[in-house]
Amino acid sequence: MKYLINEYQYYLKREKGLSQNTITAYLRDLEQYRTYLEKSYEITKIQKIERKHIETFLKSLHKKNLSSKSLSRKLTAIKGFHQFLLIENELDTNVAYDIESPKVEKTLPQVLSVQEVIKIIEAVKGTDPLSIRNQALLELIYGSGLRVSELLDLKIADIHLLEGYVRVLGKGNKEREVPLGDMSVQALRLYLTKSRNQLTMNSIDYLFLNQDGKRLSRQGFFKILRKIAKVAGIDRDVSPHTLRHSFATHLLEAGVDLRTLQELLGHEDIQTTQIYTHISQKHLKDVYLNTHPRAKEKNNV
pLDDT band per the 50, 70, 90 thresholds, residue 292: low
Q: Is 142 among the catalytic positions? A: no
Q: Where in the sequence of the chain do the CATH 1.10.150.130 domains occur? A: 2-87
Q: What is the mean pLDDT of residues 207-223?
A: 95
171 is catalytic: yes
| Per annotation, catalytic residue among 73, 133, 276, 283 | 276
Please determine, looking at this structure, whether the domain spanning 2-87 carries the CATH number 1.10.150.130: yes
pLDDT digits (tens, 9 = 90+) for 242-286: 999 999 999 988 888 889 989 999 988 888 888 887 766 665 566
Residue 301 banded pLDDT, cuts 50, 70, 90: very low
Q: Of the listed 73, 79, 196, 244, which one is catalytic?
A: 244
Q: Which residue spans of the chain are classified as CATH 1.10.443.10?
A: 114-291
Residue 147 annotated to the active site: yes
Catalytic residue (choose from 189, 236, 241, 282): 241
Catalytic residue among 51, 171, 194, 226: 171
What's the whole-number mean pLDDT along residues 29-56?
95
- Which position among 53, 147, 196, 245 bears the catalytic label? 147
pLDDT in tens, 124-136: 989 999 999 999 9
Q: Which CATH class is domain 114-291?
A: mainly alpha
pTM passes above 0.85: no
Please check the confidence at residue 86 and state whether its pLDDT lies above 90.
yes
Convert the chain into a string of H (helix), E (strand) and C (coil): CHHHHHHHHHHHHHCCCCCHHHHHHHHHHHHHHHHHHHHHHCCCCHHHCCHHHHHHHHHHHHHCCCCHHHHHHHHHHHHHHHHHHHHCCCCCCCCCCCCCCCCCCCCCCCCCCHHHHHHHHHCCCCCCHHHHHHHHHHHHHHHHCCCHHHHHCCEHHHEECCCCEEEEECHHHCEEEEECCHHHHHHHHHHHHHHHHHHCCCCCCECCECCCCCECCHHHHHHHHHHHHHHCCCCCCCCHHHHHHHHHHHHHHCCCCHHHHHHHHCCCCHHHHHHHHHHHHHHHHHHHHHHCCCCCCCCCC
Is 160 annotated as catalytic? no
Q: 267 an active-site residue?
A: yes
* 51 catalytic per annotation: no
